[in-house]
């Protein structure tokens, strides 16, 4: 029985009852890419983009801002050839003065846009995220 049986194939949602290890195993079982970024100790949009780019092994230009990240998650990967599907985990997104609620929503919108892009291509793209529970110190 699939761990994601009741989860839509293209969505962005809080990780809630799922854990990272189980999601990684499910990605392997399904033959999907598993993309993981642990964003603790990031404080700004640039740091968050850089951490995601590093952890996803994206080229540096993909990590410069939200637009570049969106392009890499969609068009760049699509140009690389057929894709089996994706399970993405964004863990500990910061809650900091320079990465406030609006910045977090803008980042999640990037991943929502990617989920829509892949849905049009009939490729599963599931994103799970969590927020940092304790704001990092500057």
**Residue 42 token pair:** 């990031």
Rounded CA separation 56/66 (Å): 14
Rounded CA separation 28/31 (Å): 5
Query: CA dist 72 to 20, 21, 52, Å?
Result: 23, 25, 11
Rounded CA separation 138/134 (Å): 12
**Residue 128 token pair:** 């799970």
- What percent of the residues of the chain are helix, what percent strand, and what percent coil, each to the nearest 5? 45, 20, 35
- The pLDDT confidence band at residue 1, using thresholds 50, 70 and 90, is low
- Tell me which architecture the domain covering 32-122 has in CATH: 2-Layer Sandwich (3.30)
Rounded CA separation 25/137 (Å): 33
**pTM beyond cutoff 0.85:** yes
pLDDT tens digits, one per residue of 72-124: 999 999 999 999 999 999 999 998 888 989 999 999 999 999 999 999 999 99
pLDDT tens digits, one per residue of 16-74: 889 999 999 999 999 999 999 999 999 999 999 999 999 999 999 998 999 999 999 99
């Amino acid at each position: 029985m699939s761990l994601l049986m009741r989860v839509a194939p293209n969505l962005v949602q809080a990780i809630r009852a799922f854990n990272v290890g189980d999601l990684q195993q499910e990605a392997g079982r399904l033959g999907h890419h598993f993309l993981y970024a642990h964003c603790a100790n990031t404080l700004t949009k640039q740091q968050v983009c850089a951490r995601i780019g590093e952890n996803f092994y994206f080229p540096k230009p993909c990590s410069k801002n939200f637009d570049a990240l969106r392009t890499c998650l969609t068009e760049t990967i699509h140009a690389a050839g057929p894709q089996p599907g994706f399970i993405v985990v964004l863990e500990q997104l910061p809650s900091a003065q320079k990465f406030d609620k609006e910045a977090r929503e803008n980042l999640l919108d990037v991943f929502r846009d990617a989920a829509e892009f892949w849905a049009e291509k009939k490729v599963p793209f599931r994103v799970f995220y969590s927020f940092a529970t304790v704001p990092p110190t500057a």
